Amino acid sequence: MEFVRRQCLGIQTVRHPARLVVLASGGGRTLENLQTRILNGQLAAEITLVVVSRSDLGAAQRARRLQLPMLVIGPRNYPDGARRNDLLIGAILEARPDWVILAGWLQLLPIPPELEGRVLNIHPALLPAYGGKGFWGHHVHQAVIADAVPVTGCTVHFATSEYDQGPVVLQTAVQVCAGDTAESVAAKVFAAEVEAYPEALQLLMAGSLVWQQNQVYWGSSEPL
């Protein structure tokens, strides 16, 4: 595994290229964004495995087109939840990731100690607003429009055993204008996500931001 532990601080610095495992349950736009940046030399990483929850998803089609290693592990082909989780965690660990990237993954991932502090998620709102179970995708943007809030955005955060409760790595705000719809807000937020996820990864790979005892620190000084 391409990282070294700094034992005195209990944190990690990842050597390049970082190994990524991407989990996706949707169209796969985030997966393709990351792979495009890797191929363009903008992100010093490699995607060693893609896991999708169904074989007919857009994410699966993109993974095939991008010629990325892929597994299908979801409720349809593995209806027993315990068996499914065992297979999923086993596949992730076998791929020896430095970071696990949740890219529209809709199932709560059971995070074993070996992966604690190395699983990232991006949420289409400024957490803690519009977070938690049931708040995903268009449900978030519909709630934003219904509440007529002036600002929304996206949040990159560490995943934990609860939906959208992990410490924040990075947030980007976007303006909600008069006349916006859930669809137009979704487009603005995704445009922010395209930049925010790679930026957060860069900061973590460089050691500028670190996880320590369920908090995010800038360098090794104070929690954010």
User: Hey, where are the domains in the chain?
Assistant: 1-115, 121-224
Residue pair 69/48 in contact (Cβ under 8 Å)? The answer is yes
- Say what the pLDDT of residue 3 is: 33
pLDDT-based confidence at residue 64 (cuts at 50, 70, 90): very high
Predicted confidence (pLDDT) at residue 11 exceeds the cutoff of 60: no
89-93, 145-149, 159-163, 193-197: least confident range: 159-163
- Say what the pLDDT of residue 29 is: 97
Residue range 168-198, pLDDT digits in tens: 999 999 999 999 999 999 999 999 999 999 9
What is the CATH number that goes with domain 1-115?
Answer: 3.40.50.170
Q: What DSSP letter does each residue of 83-124 carry, written as one string? A: HHHHHHHHHHHHT--SEEEEES--SPPP--GGGTT-EEEEES
Residue 76 phi, psi (nearest 5): -70, -45
Q: What is the mean pLDDT of the chain?
A: 90
Mean pLDDT value across residues 117-142: 94
Active site residue 123: yes
Superfamily of domain 121-224: Formyl transferase, N-terminal domain (3.40.50.170)
Place of tokens 């934990």: 160
Mean pLDDT value across residues 87-115: 95
Residue type at 197? Y
Place of tokens 């991932």: 109
- Say what the pLDDT of residue 130 is: 96
pLDDT-based confidence at residue 133 (cuts at 50, 70, 90): confident
- Common-topology check for domains 1-115 and 121-224: yes
Predicted confidence (pLDDT) at residue 28 exceeds the cutoff of 90: yes
116-120, 149-153, 166-170, 212-216: least confident range: 212-216
Q: Which of 216, 188, 214, 186 is nearest to 200 (CA)?
A: 216
pTM of the model as a whole = 0.88
Tokens of 97: 């990731």
Predicted confidence (pLDDT) at residue 104 exceeds the cutoff of 80: yes
Q: Give the percent of the chain with pLDDT over 70.
A: 90
Active-site position among 16, 123, 139, 141: 123
- Say what the pLDDT of residue 224 is: 54
Q: Which of 153, 198, 151 is nearest to 175 (CA)?
A: 151
Q: Which three-class secondary structure state does DSSP give residue 136?
A: coil
- Cβ density class 135-146: b for 16+ within 10 Å, e for less: bbeeebbbbbbe
